Structure 1
Amino acid sequence: MILFQTTISIFITIIMFVLLNLLSKKSFYDREKSSPFECGFDPKNYARLPFSLHFYLLAIIFIIFDVELTLLLPSIIIMKFSNLINFSMTIISFILILIFGLFYEMKQGSLNWTM
């Protein structure tokens, strides 16, 4: 019974995959439809310029420190149920690791916004 259901589900998946590929194909290539939209006029410059690597690194650093903040927030609830000394040592070591990471990023120059 399980083999039959697996075979039917794989068969339905393959049929859907083939149908979707056949129906979603574009029959012609239109330059205007593939270009960025600017009120029907030809674009003045190339819209897909390379992005700044420095901005990308700064965004990654922001995400890392944002995730670290979300890891710190539940510690308030955990404080009620744990030993105060163990809790203090864990939080202090966690914050020290964050501060050392921040100083390392500052030393590497990733936080300097220069053009």
Structure 2
Amino acid sequence: MKSVGCASLVVVLLTLGLFGVALAGSARRAKDSQKSTPFECGFDPCGSGRFPFSLQFFLVGIIFLVFDMEIALMYPLASADMGDLSESSYLSGGVFLVVVLGGLLHEWKEGSLEWKR
């Protein structure tokens, strides 16, 4: 029991030590004049460095991630041997598939799947 306590103490002390080193290494330093100049080209920047971001890209990315995760959750059910599955497995897989298709239908009717100009 003492060895577990000692090992835990060593791990905690090492973690705190690494955290302290990282905190000391990331302390704010005086601002260098070179860091505020334009990068490499030597020209002053014209306008803002930010570009307008279309929310359509964000929405398509989120929809992709959601449906990709749903497919990853359905894969074990689809690749399992049909004799090994119980009725509750079929029922839960069917309900999950209905929810996925319902979400797809909702996104389609909302117009999220059509690119707007």
Assess if the C-alpha contact under 8 Å between 1:79 and 1:87 holds in 2.
Answer: no
The alignment covers a number of residue pairs equal to 114
Matches within 5 A, 1:69-88: 69-80=71-82, 81-82=84-85
RMSD: 3.2
Distance 1:47 1:11 in 2: 44
- Give, in whole Å, the separation in 1 of the partners of 2:33 and 2:53: 24
TM-score, scaled to structure 2: 0.65
Give the drift of 1:75.
2.0
- Name the structure 2 match of 1:97: 99
Structure 1 range deviating more: 64-73 or 74-83: 74-83
CA deviation vs aligned residue, 1:12-36 (integer Å, no higher than 9, x gap): 3333322322223242224653678
In structure 1, the partner of 2:110 is: 108
Letter in 1 for 2:14: I
CA–CA separation in structure 1 for the residues paired with 2:6 and 2:91:
57
Instruction: Show structure 1 runs of 5+ residues with no match.
Output: none
SS in structure 2 of the partner of residue 104 of structure 1: helix
Q: Percent identity?
A: 33
